[in-house]
Structure 1
Amino acid sequence: MEQNAKIYVAGHRGMVGSAIVRRLAEAGYHNVVVRTSKELDLRSQEAVRAFFAEEKPEYVVLAAAKVGGIHANNTYRADFLYDNLMIESNVIHESYVQGVKKLLFLGSSCIYPKLAPLPLKEDALLTGLLEHTNEPYAIAKIAGIKLCDAYRSQYGCNFISAMPTNLYGPHDNYDLKNSHVLPALIRKFHEAKQQNAPEVEVWGTGTPRRELMHSDDLADACFFLMQHYNEPGLINIGTGEDLSIRELAELVRDVVGYQGQIRFNTNYPDGTPRKVMDVSKLASLGWHYTTKLEDGVRQVYSEYQQA
Structure 2
Amino acid sequence: MQFADASAEYSRSREVLNKAALSVVPRQERTVEKRTYLQEYKCCPPALFMITATLIEIAVFIYYAVDMNRPMGAAGPAPVYSPLIYNPYRRYEAWRYLTYALIHSGYVHLVTNLVMQLVLGLLLELVHGWWRVGTIYLAGVLAGSLSQSITAPRTYLAGASGGVYSITYAHVGNLLLNWSEMSFRWVQLILCLSLTIGDISFALWDSYGSPTPSNTGHMAHLGGAIAGALVGINILRNLKKRQWERYCWWAALVIYLALVLVGIVLNATLPVPEFFPDDDYTDLATLRELRLKSQP
Higher relative contact order at CA 8 Å, sep ≥6: structure 1 or structure 2? 2
TM-score range, shorter chain: under 0.3
Structure number with greater Rg is: 2
Give the strand-richer structure, 1 or 2. 1
With normalisation by structure 2, the TM-score equals 0.27
With normalisation by structure 1, the TM-score equals 0.26
Give the helix-richer structure, 1 or 2. 2
